[in-house]
Amino acid sequence: MVHRLVVSYGQPEDPGAFDAYYRDTHTPLATKMPGLVRLTVGHPQALDPSTPAPYLVAALDFDSEQAMGAAFASEEGKVAAGDVANFATGGATMTHYEVTEVHVSR
């Protein structure tokens, strides 16, 4: 089963600088975390325009909650986690959960 960490980044002070730093510095740090299976990112858009969407959402998948904990306890995980303060001027919210796949019948 997959365990997912979701990081929602608020609107940064300088979006161009955020994007460049995230792409060129933070992503390479995050992908070095042991046990990371998949990293996906995207700039979401709110379905309801009266509700602001996060600036960027990143989803990090691990084989288990224990694997995620071990990744963040590793030196690579500590470096990646500590790096967030260097670019997330709009703040960052982190949540995690066990992924349950729902089959859709058509």
For range 35-51, the mean pLDDT:
96
How many C-beta neighbours within 10 Å does residue 18 have? 20
**Rounded to the nearest 10 degrees, what angle do helices 65-73 and 75-83 cross at?**
80
The pLDDT of residue 1: 84
Count Cα atoms within 13 angstroms, Cβ side, for 20. Answer: 4
The pLDDT of residue 60: 98
Reply yes or no on whether the pLDDT at 106 is more than 90.
Answer: no
SS3 65: helix
pTM of the model: 0.92
Burial class (CB in 10 A: 0-12, 13-18, 19+), 48: exposed
Ranges of beta strands (E only) in the chain are 3-9, 36-42, 56-62, 92-98
Average pLDDT, the chain: 96
The pLDDT of residue 41: 98
